[in-house]
Structure 1
Amino acid sequence: MAATAVAGGVATSLWLTGESVWFALPGRAAEFELPHAAALSDLLEAILAGGSVTVCTQCAARRDIGPEDVIPGIRIAGAAAFVEEALQDEAQALVY
């Protein structure tokens, strides 16, 4: 969904939480395969090129993931950053 939004010119911010934070590490998205779906690494690259990707602070901490561990361009941030983004004028949160 996020990659499609970026391709459509929509300002997009993807937040990774829970087990999905592992995909913020180099090479991890390339290891994931889902039949009949685009490669996750390609989708992540597209989102980074036209939007932003954030890893949940607590989710990262629970897995001993730090800023030095994630793909360049991905940030680790918490609830305050999410609320700030969600409350921007004309922002719309879509959880899928």
Structure 2
Amino acid sequence: MERSLVVKVTAGADAPERCAQAFTVAATAVAAGAEVSLWLTGEASWFALPGRAEQFELPHAAPLDGLLAAVLAEGRVTLCTQCAARREITGDDVLPGVRIAGAAAFVEESLMDGAQALVY
């Protein structure tokens, strides 16, 4: 049975180390061949928009835009429905490949056989 990893990141520039850690773990899991689903919630929601990940800086951390690109290329990236609505982000605003979905989809992914969920 192949394991999948669901990573929910709630932090953005407000908690840069926690944010970078979540993206790093997700991209590393993709590189290791795992099925990865990255959920952008809270302040991390902004990274669903073009150009936002490029603006993120944290010394000694991999560039966030590269980590996000790796997950988009080989995994799945989801923006929380409520978080998007609170920030007035629509499906027309997000990066190609980013979907908008809610709690039911997160729970479904997290409870699949062989799934491991991490929340940062």
**TM-score range for the pair, normalised by the shorter chain length:** over 0.9
Match of 1:81 in 2: 105
Pairwise CA distance, 1:95: 2.1
SS in 1 for 2:62: coil
Q: TM-score, normalised by structure 2?
A: 0.78
Find the aligned partners of 1:14 and 1:21 in 2 and give their Cα distance.
Answer: 11
Of 58, 70, 73, the match for 2:82: 58
Runs of 4+ that moved beyond 6 A: none
Paired positions, count: 96
Find the aligned partners of 2:90 and 2:83 in 1 and give their Cα distance.
Answer: 11
Find the aligned partners of 2:109 and 2:46 in 1 and give their Cα distance.
Answer: 23
Q: Which runs of 5+ in 1 are unaligned?
A: none
Q: What is the percent sequence identity of the aligned residues? A: 73
Q: TM-score, normalised by structure 1?
A: 0.96
SS in 2 for 1:49: helix
SS in 2 for 1:93: strand
Which one has a larger percent strand, Structure 1 or Structure 2?
2
Q: How does 1:1-96 map to 2 (within 5 A)?
A: 1-96=25-120
Find the aligned partners of 1:47 and 1:34 in 2 and give their Cα distance.
Answer: 19
Superposed CA RMSD? 0.8
Q: Which runs of 5+ in 2 are unaligned?
A: 1-24
